[in-house]
A = this chain, B = another copy of it.
Amino acid sequence: MGQRIFTSARCEFMSAQKAALVAPGPVPLPEAVRLAMAGQLIHHRTPAFEAIMREVGQGLGWLYQTQQDVLVLTGSGSTGMEAALVNFARSDAPVVCVGGGKFALRWAEVARAYGVEVVLLEVPWGQAASPEALGELLEAHPNTAAVTITANETSTGVHHPIEALCAVVRERSEALLLVDGITAVGVQDLGMDALGIDALVTGSQKVYAVPPGLAFVGVSERAWSRLGDLPRYGLDLARERARQCDGQTAFSPAISLIFGLQAALRLLREEGLEALWGRHARCAQATRAGVAALGLELFSAAPCNAVTAVRVPDGLDGVALATRCLELGAVIAGGQSHLKGKILRIGHLGSHRRADVIHALSTLELALESMGHPVAFGKGVGAALARFSAS
């Protein structure tokens, strides 16, 4: 019977529409963003483009809660991380990287690619990092040039205690503080200036609900005064800053994506920071309630509000389960690295709303049942609705 449902649902989906994006980015584009991107180009070396860049810069500063520069780069979120690293780490001093997931370890990969010594704070995947352990490591390495932290770990769904981690860096080290806020800024209250962050990185395909292709790096005055000695050309942030102060970019920018970003930031500002954080929290809480009602377990011991990582039930193939969800019309992400096939990841970023949570959970119910896992249809969805109703 499960197979029958699956087949007919697949046919309906394949012929009628694209699968809905309920993974932790990229996320569905709002209509205003799509229409903005369809606009005819303007030349970037014009006052009209400079006006857009200035508006975008103000919007980014608002979202970052900062008075510092937030630079726009063309590239993925990882481009932003690499930019922070190659400008603010050094060849003659270690970086301390807080581990715990694929994206946390990416900082270490970047550093090693540039020959920088990495001191890794080992964190079990699925667990939150310990501020105390970080403090001890920093005292053992007083010449640390930079500390890297991933605020919410997208590969595991973990919310690290970012306030406490930042505080311990500030209190017990002179190192620059580089933070991957790719699935944290806009999801929760994460003020760059309040936390004393020196370089805060985000990417366009998460909270902004813009396609991938833009990275944003907020940089503190302290960081500007301590530019490092690693080689860089396209990611030279000092050159970018000199141009972006004038509403320009050092190289041809992804103009259409910046049109989309302008539209997206207007939508976010209309909603407001607290409403934005609240929406992410409600979607995540409802998803967790639905998952629990289906008898499934969370992977993360400290779940964040950006992505819910769910353990695949014993006996099921997680890769096949994600594929089944895709065929049924929902892109739910699988696990990465050694978690491949072991977890599913449902996102709650940017444009996601109640309907996306319900679509993800109802698709998951159908997919589980079609693969022989017992499901009381509506139980997960019902628990999520109850949570929405109460919030």
Residues of B within 8 A of A19 (CB): 42-43, 46
Interface residues of chain A: helix, strand, loop or mixed (majority): loop
Contact size class for A?
Answer: 35 or more
Contact A213 B256 (CB under 8 A): yes
Question: Which residue numbers of A lie inside 8 Å of B, CB to CB?
Answer: 18-19, 21, 23, 25-29, 34-35, 37-46, 48, 74-79, 82, 109-110, 113-115, 203, 205, 211-213, 230-234, 236, 251-257, 260, 326, 331, 333
A326 to B77, CA, bound (A): 35
* Copies of this protein in the complex: 2
Contact B40 A38 (CB under 8 A): no
**Nearest chain B CB to A128 CB, angstrom units:** 25
Residues of B within 8 A of A260 (CB): 256
Residues of B within 8 A of A252 (CB): 25-26, 76-78, 203, 205, 212
Contact A333 B45 (CB under 8 A): yes
Chain B, Cβ-Cβ closest to A112? B233
**Nearest chain B CB to A207 CB, angstrom units:** 14
Indicate which residue in B18, B203, B253, B333 contacts A212 across the interface (CB closer than 8 Å). Answer: B253
**Nearest chain B CB to A10 CB, angstrom units:** 13
Q: A25-B252, A41-B211, A74-B79 given. 11 additional CB < 8 A pairs?
A: A19-B42, A21-B41, A21-B42, A26-B44, A43-B331, A44-B212, A76-B252, A78-B234, A109-B233, A205-B252, A254-B257
**Nearest chain B CB to A19 CB, angstrom units:** 7
A333 to B82, CA, bound (A): 32
Residues of B within 8 A of A44 (CB): 26, 212
